Amino acid sequence: MILLFKSDIDRSDWWRDELQLRIPNLEVRIWPDVGDKADVDYALIWNMPHGEMATYPNLKGIFSLGAGVDHVLDDPDFPRDIPFSRVVDPDLTQRMKEYVVQHVLNHHRHQNLYDQQQNSKIWDELFVPAAGNRKVGILGMGELGASSAIALRDLGFNVAGWSRSKKQIDGIESYAGDTEFDEFLVRTEILVCLLPLTPATTDILNKDLFAKLPKGASVINAGRGLHLVEEDLIEALKSGHLAEATLDVFRVEPLAEDHPFWQQPNIRITPHNASISDPARVADLVAQNIILIEAGGNILNQVNIERGY
Ligand code: NDP
Ligand code: OXD
């Protein structure tokens, strides 16, 4: 049995070891060293060049290396009839929860301003409202958004979420669809984007959205870079309407050295590390799905290709 592996991060040996530990008869071929493409049964991939996946005639299953699948579905030639899964895993969720809590707390407690004050040796205590009076809003209430919302609720924040369908989560206000979008935005002081990238969500973090947030709001984007219209963010920060932003994902990654975001004192940048797939955990999921496919069953965490996430 042969699995094709492609990642942007150079940890192929680690992945191979974890996969072979679970499926000893699995041969792992690291892209682009794939040999005869007709031999390949499965693919575990991230950011494959467009057109490539259509050139493997005998694939039985494709697995995304991450939770997001935009890196695959933006390929017009992607074979849509083959079972395709993404990562849904408590460890990946935990890491995202940590990121969201860390950066919501940074904004809530003015950490960015204190960092700037420290650089200038300024001792100036800034008022922080009680968590219960701080309104956090989560765009995208799926695996990652809902868990992050619950973690923030449990810290005492006033939390709401926005998604396509209504959610029933204790103590978290649910807004759904276009008709409830504005109502969600006007109440949100710290906005966290955990949406998947689809045609409907591309460029969603734009000047119209920023204008609906209350003055002084902050934005955290851990979804995808293409959610954000970068020049609109810079404008909203420069005008003072938005106070700060934390960005983990960018339209082009790595962020270019001459990108204006690096110079913006009220933008905190992290290098797409909000969460990450642990090879041992994902190898478990891949092994389970291979067993299910070989037995003729349905795979776990199947992507709804029509919906786009
Ligand atoms: P899910 O598919 O579980 O959740 C997606 C959520 O977004 C759902 O609540 C869905 O609504 C909502 N949604 C989708 N489209 C729309 C829309 N048009 N309008 C309103 N709501 C919408 O995804 P995950 O939580 O697992 O992951 C979310 C994203 O996080 C990934 O796609 C990826 O881009 C990003 N990510 C980033 C990482 C990082 O390190 N920065 C790491 C991992 C993921 P509904 O529930 O009604 O379907
Ligand atoms: C993912 C990511 O989608 O790391 O898992 O961005």
Please provide residue 228's backbone torsions phi and psi, each rounded to the nearest 5 degrees.
Answer: -105, 130
User: What pLDDT does 285 receive?
Assistant: 96
Over residues 95-140, the pLDDT tens digits come to 999 999 999 999 999 999 999 999 999 999 999 999 999 999 999 9
User: What pLDDT does 62 receive?
Assistant: 98
User: What pLDDT does 8 receive?
Assistant: 86
Give me the percent of the chain exceeding a pLDDT of 90: 98
User: What pLDDT does 11 receive?
Assistant: 85
For 52, the 3-state DSSP assignment is helix
> Nearest ligand to the C-alpha of residue 249?
1
The answer, yes or no, to whether any atom of ligand 1 lies below 6 A from the CB of 138, is no
pLDDT over 90 at 29, yes or no: yes
292 close to 298: Cβ distance less than 8 angstroms: yes
Separation of 69 CA from ligand 1 center, angstroms?
10
275 close to 147: Cβ distance less than 8 angstroms: no
Most informative mutation of 46, 69, 144, 246 for ligand 1 (most atoms within 8 A of CB): 144
The answer, yes or no, to whether any atom of ligand 1 lies below 6 A from the CB of 137, is no
Distance CA 294, CA 278 (A): 24
142 close to 149: Cβ distance less than 8 angstroms: no
The confidence band for 88, taking pLDDT boundaries of 50, 70 and 90, is very high
Q: What is the 3-state secondary structure (H, E, C) of 186-229?
A: HCCCEEEECCCCCCCCCCCECHHHHHHCCCCEEEEECCCHHHEC
Over residues 237-270, the pLDDT tens digits come to 999 999 999 999 999 999 999 999 999 999 999 9
The one-letter amino acid code at 102 reads Q
pLDDT over 80 at 10, yes or no: no
User: What pLDDT does 97 receive?
Assistant: 98
- What is the atom index within ligand 1 of the atom nearest the CA of 165? 47
Please provide residue 22's backbone torsions phi and psi, each rounded to the nearest 5 degrees.
Answer: -90, -30
User: What pLDDT does 240 receive?
Assistant: 97
User: What pLDDT does 4 receive?
Assistant: 97
Residue nearest atom 4 in ligand 1 by C-alpha distance:
142
User: What pLDDT does 220 receive?
Assistant: 99
| Rg of the chain in Å (alpha carbons) | 21
Burial of 286 (0-12, 13-18, 19+ CB in 10 A): buried
Residue nearest atom 5 in ligand 2 by C-alpha distance:
66
Neighbours of 295 (CB within 10 A): 7
Give me the percent of the chain exceeding a pLDDT of 70: 100
Over residues 269-299, the pLDDT tens digits come to 999 999 999 999 999 999 999 999 999 999 9
Residue nearest atom 2 in ligand 2 by C-alpha distance:
66
Separation of 231 CA from ligand 2 center, angstroms?
24
226 close to 198: Cβ distance less than 8 angstroms: no
Q: Which residues of 117-146 are buried (b: 16+ CB within 10 A; e: fewer)?
A: eeeeeeeeeeeeeebeebbbbbbbbbbbbb
- Whether 224 sits among the annotated catalytic residues: the reply is yes
- Of 214, 258, 257, the C-alpha closest to 236 is 214
Separation of 145 CA from ligand 1 center, angstroms?
7
The answer, yes or no, to whether any atom of ligand 2 lies below 6 A from the CB of 194, is no
Distance CA 5, CA 26 (A): 12
What's the average model confidence in pLDDT over 146-154? 98
Separation of 142 CA from ligand 1 center, angstroms?
5
Over residues 68-84, the pLDDT tens digits come to 999 999 999 999 999 99
Q: Choose, from 224, 251, 268, 281, the residue flagged as catalytic.
A: 224
Neighbours of 238 (CB within 10 A): 11
- What is the atom index within ligand 1 of the atom nearest the CA of 66? 43
185 close to 209: Cβ distance less than 8 angstroms: yes
User: What pLDDT does 9 receive?
Assistant: 81
User: What pLDDT does 57 receive?
Assistant: 97
